[in-house]
Amino acid sequence: MQPLLTLTSVSKSFGDLQALDRVDLDINAGEVVGLVGSNGAGKTTLLRLMAGVYTPTSGTVLLADGNPVTKMRQALGVVPESTGLYSRLTAWENIRYHSRMHGISDKDAWARTAKFAQHLDMVDSLGRHTKGFSRGMRQKTALLRALAHGPSILLLDEPTAGLDITSARTVRRLVHQLKNEGGTVIYSTHQLAEAEQVCDRIVIVHNGEVRADGSPEELLKSTNSTSLEDAYVALTKDTARQRQEDDEKEGRFTGMWRSFFTPKPPATPALEVNEDE
């Protein structure tokens, strides 16, 4: 089976910081792949490379048809840590605008949005302005926005961070639903228990390197461990580095990440953007 997305010897540097070092990774259809690691491990950098926001310093990130992700971003649905919703628009207006950018008709976007909104208990909130939304509601709206154009791969960056228990559970339930329908999800988290609940494979990222890649059972067997926590500790004994990338490049790269997925309409006044709490 040919992978949907292939990373070959991918490295990424920011000045003197080696954020990722020679990463090889295949993402196959129908998988939920967890990227697990501490803050500063390189998870977000890896996701941004998969999304085509970053260009590798060396190596390649290719889709199944051989195209680089920068040429075929419509194949991806992305939910970054900061949702970047337009607070003066309703949830549906945010979703519709994003879908139109991907060339999707309002009819098709609405059909997909209505379907997944039922799973997220969002149907009655689609007509509300997002300015008054809680963090959980903004996260759900961002998920619907990422799914509305029918992506082949969904990339989630800490999708339950800061959410209450009920909202986090709802997000995990949606990931299970996508998996049951044959969807492919890359799920970044620093919580092992969460990765064990939702992921078929777990990729442990530490200090810019992939330390392990396998099912929970395979990770336990390879480390002679009885719990994933013990397996993780065995694979990441060296001290975790401090998170530096966002501190050094906050204005440029954080702005790029947000503006790429929620660009402002060129012919309308600037819209207010809600910042996540």
pLDDT, residue 247, reads: 42
269 DSSP assignment = -
pLDDT, residue 267, reads: 46
170 assigned to some structural domain? yes
Helices (H), the chain: 43-51, 91-101, 106-119, 135-147, 165-180, 192-198, 216-223, 228-235, 245-249, 255-261
- SS3 of 73-107: the string is HHHEEEECCCCCCECCCEHHHHHHHHHHHCCCCHH
222 assigned to some structural domain? yes
Q: What is the pLDDT of residues 221-254, one digit of tens each?
A: 999 999 999 999 999 988 776 665 444 444 555 5
Q: What is the pLDDT of residues 87-101, one digit of tens each?
A: 899 999 999 999 998
pTM for the structure as a whole: 0.81
257 assigned to some structural domain? yes
Residue 126's domain comprises 5-71+111-261
118 assigned to some structural domain? yes
220 assigned to some structural domain? yes
Q: What is the pLDDT of residues 83-134, one digit of tens each?
A: 889 989 999 999 999 999 888 999 999 999 999 999 888 999 999 999 989 8
CA–CA dist 183, 80 (Å, integer): 19
Tell me if 129 sits within 8 A of 87, measured CB to CB: yes
Residue 191 has pLDDT above 90, yes or no: no
**Residue 197 neighbours by CB under 8 Å, 6+ apart:** 172
226 assigned to some structural domain? yes
92 assigned to some structural domain? no
pLDDT, residue 274, reads: 53
| Bridge partner residues of 201 (DSSP) | 33
Given CA atoms 193, 196, 46, 256 in this order, what sign does their dihedral have? negative
Provide the domain count of the chain. 1
Say which CATH number the domain at 159 has.
Answer: 3.40.50.300
Q: Give the pairing of strands 17-27 and 5-14.
A: antiparallel
